Structures are given as C-alpha cells and as structure tokens.
Amino acid sequence: MQLATANGTAPERGREHPQITDIRPNLATHSLDGAKFCLTINIHLYKLYVMHDLDAAFSALADPTRRAILGRLAKGEATVNELAEPFEMTQPAISQHLKVLEDAGLIVRRVDGTKRPRRLAMAGIEAMDQWLAMLRKALETNYDRLDEVLAGMEPRKKGKER
C-alpha cells in the first residue's frame, strides 16, 4: 500500500481524540426511515467510531523519523535504545516520537523487566490500510469506467466549441 506523506507536518501535541460520546448523538439525528437506509447510516456511524484514531495515525505518519521507526518495527520488536541507534537522535527525542506513534494506536509497548520493547499494533495499521484501500478501490473503479467512456468519445473538431 502506498502511504507517502510529502511534507513532514508535525502533529499537534496533546490533541485529544474525539470521544465516542461526541459521536453518539449523531445516531439520533439521522432519520432511520426504512431498513435499506439504515445500513448506510449504520455504516457511516461505524466509520465515525473508527475515524478518530485514523486522524492521529495519519498525522503520526507525516514525520519521516516515525515512518522509519515503523519500518524498523515491521521487522520485529525493538527496545528504545535499539530504535534510537540508527537515527543519531537522543533517547528522549526517540521516546517522544514513540509516544506520538503510541497515542495514534500504531505501536504498543510490552513490559520486560526494566525494558519496554515496542512493536507494531497491527489493528491500528490495518484499520488505516483498509480505509485507504477502500477509497483507492472506489476511485479505481470509476477511472476504469472513465477509460471506456474516453475510448468511445469522438474527437471534437476544431471550431465546434460550445
């Protein structure tokens, strides 16, 4: 999956994720007339429940160091020292990046004596991957159809502008 982020915008520090309670009132405001429309609304709400984590996840990925950390963790669990080593960064700086990734639900920590090794949180990664994949699929379906429309269009003759 392609998930390039062009400019490394730092995410807001300490931003609160919207709570589920912020979303729940929407349930009441949607008119649920007809079972067929219920599905659409339920899906929309389901997505609202999930999206607050996605927001943080995309912000977390906007930084190249954090993407590199994820790349390292994709190979397996690692301690903070191990993660800091290739980056020529201080441990506190790495720890700050790890906190952003953790808050975004992209990595999790484990207690191992005095160590706190980190690993990828597959649920977070997969949720993001799925949404992007769905959008990609929807767009690709349309553009494949547009290819056919374009193939069937007559080239417009000069002087026939509307």
Partner 1 sequence: MSKMTLRTEGDTHLIVTRRFAAPPEAVYRAHTDPKLIQKWLLGPDGWTMPVCINEAKAGGKFRYEWTNDKGGGFHITGEYLELEPYTRIVHVERMHLPDATPDNHIETRFEADGAGTLMTMRMTLPDGKTRAAMLATGMERGMEASYVRLEGML
Residues forming contacts to partner 1 in the complex (CB under 8 A) are: 2-7, 9, 11, 18, 26, 29-31, 34, 36-37, 39-44, 46-48, 50-52, 54-55, 58-59, 61-62, 130-132, 134-143, 145-151, 153, 155-156
Of 75 and 162, nearer to partner 1 (C-beta) is 162
Phi then psi for residue 64, to 5 deg, are -65, -35
Of 27 and 116, nearer to partner 1 (C-beta) is 27
- What's at 77, amino acid-wise? E
Place of tokens 């160091």: 65
H/E element, 144: helix 122-151
Q: Provide the token pair at 27.
A: 């349930």
Residue 53 Cβ vs partner 1, minimum distance, rounded to whole Å = 8
Distance between the two ends of the chain, CA-based, in angstroms? 42
Of 4 and 111, nearer to partner 1 (C-beta) is 4
